[in-house]
A = this chain, B = another copy of it.
Amino acid sequence: MSQQKGFHVAVVGATGAVGQQMIQTLLKENFPISKLTLLSSARSAGKVVDVNGQEITIQEAKPESFEGVQIALFSAGGDVSKELAPEAVKRGAIVVDNTSAFRMDVDKPLVVPEVNEADLHEHNGIIANPNCSTIQMVVALEPIRQKFGLKKIIVSTYQAVSGAGATAVEELMDQTKSILAGETVEPKILPVKADKNHYQIAFNAIPQIDKFQENGYTYEEMKMINETKKIMHLPDLQVSATCVRLPVAVGHSESVYFEVETEGVSAQEIKALLKDAPGVVLQDDPENQVYPMPANCVGKNDVFVGRIRKDIDEDRGFHMWVVSDNLLKGAAWNSVQIAERLVELGLVK
């Protein structure tokens, strides 16, 4: 870790799948760090992590842990954020929170830098990082909204198990091995660890991510619906979502139908827009079978978009296929990117 002039950064949830990616991303992006504090639950505290050749001992996250911290990246579950993020703010830190704890609070910005960076100015100490499946979709839609307006979204997701944590990835791999060996499996984690029933994910598709609300939608689906409206500042945007878990380790895919406000737009115009859009890589050449796939997005910060085509019946309707690494742009990279923007905007004290 470089000792250049920089900031005192804390990562809360440093042993989790996203926390690990946050540390890697801070290093990869050469984020200016003067001191790195790694925090976790009492259970994981004491572990020693190698960060770029330097051994750092993970400490139990407590209110006092944030003394002197300037930027705190939280990814240790909503309860930890609710308890400790205000303590970090009290001690002068600015918090980028990757849980759902504060996302819909009216006084806390929910930010995807490519879409609503300006909202960072209205932070009250805490900036929420949106849900992984929301982020990649709005990155692809924002350039379209800017040019042609946006009226309606219908999205069906194809989500990787790493969104449910490192133990869910282990479950996928162990289960797959067992099934190939002809052994019976006893699912314990997916679809939702804290829910009543658990189902096989290997060679299967589970139409449940997070628990169900009373309206028949899951919390994951409602996150996509509500967060998209907030991030894009479009309270009247029509959004609906169906979220499905797949036997894929890393990389969320989304089949997105959207309607623009402008009439007579061509698929070619949408492609031209996305070709030069920030954070987007256009992979759209059907003749040569070029389209995004989760297996190809792993480890990359970009949002990959392809299969762009006009609806056959609806002049203002289009379809596209959006893929991104859910641990990076969907979580760690978006959080670090927010931190980068905060620094560049002079918002870190």
Q: Please tell me if A82 contacts chain B, counting CB pairs below 8 Å.
A: no
The answer to whether A242 and B216 have CB atoms under 8 Å apart is no
**CB of A195 within 8 A of chain B?**
yes
A interface, by DSSP: helix, strand, loop or mixed? Answer: mixed
Is A306 an interface residue when CB atoms closer than 8 A count as contact? yes
Task: Enumerate chain B residues within 8 angstroms of A295, measured Cβ to Cβ.
Answer: 199-200, 203-204
Asked whether any CB of chain B lies closer than 8 Å to the CB of A19, the reply is no
Q: What is the CB-to-nearest-CB distance from A321 to chain B, in angstroms, rounded to a whole number?
A: 5
Residues of chain B contacted by A191 (CB below 8 angstroms): 289
Q: Within the complex, which residue of B199, B253, B289 is in contact with A195, where a contact is CB–CB below 8 Å?
A: B289
Contact assessment for B154 and A216 in the assembled complex, using a CB-CB cutoff below 8 Å? no
Rounded to whole angstroms, the CA-CA distance of A225 and B319 in the bound complex is 14
CA–CA, A247 and B122, complex, Å: 44
A289 to B152, CA, bound (A): 29
Within 8 A of B (CB), among A211-227: 212, 215-217, 225
Q: How far is the CA of A20 from the CA of B58 in the complex (A)?
A: 58
- With a cutoff of 8 Å between Cβ atoms, the chain B residues found around residue A257 in the complex are 154, 240, 257
> How far apart are the CA atoms of A163 and B152 in the complex, in Å?
32
Cross-chain contact B156 with A217 (CB below 8 angstroms): no
Q: Is the CB of A205 within 8 A of B154?
A: no
The segment from A29-37, A41-49, A72-80, A172-180 that touches chain B is A172-180
A292 nearest CB neighbor, chain B only: B207
Binary flags per residue of A302-343, CB closer than 8 Å to B gives 1, else 0: 000011111111100101010000000000000000000000
Chain B residues contacting A180 (CB-CB under 8 Å) are 173, 176-177, 180
Contacts of A205 in B (CB 8 A): 158, 246, 248, 253, 293-294
Complex contacts, A310 vs chain B, CB 8 Å = 216
Q: Are A212 and B312 in contact (CB under 8 A)?
A: no
Which residue of B is nearest A238, CB measured?
Answer: B313
* Given A217-B309, A244-B158, A286-B212, CB of A207 within 8 Å of CB of B267: no
0/1 interface trace, chain A 138-175, chain B, CB 8 Å (1 if under): 00000000000000101010100000000000000100
Extra inter-chain contacts (6) besides given A204-B294, A216-B308, CB under 8 Å: A176-B176, A203-B294, A203-B295, A207-B292, A242-B255, A242-B321
6 residue pairs from A and B, CB less than 8 Å apart: A176-B176, A176-B180, A196-B289, A197-B288, A238-B313, A246-B246
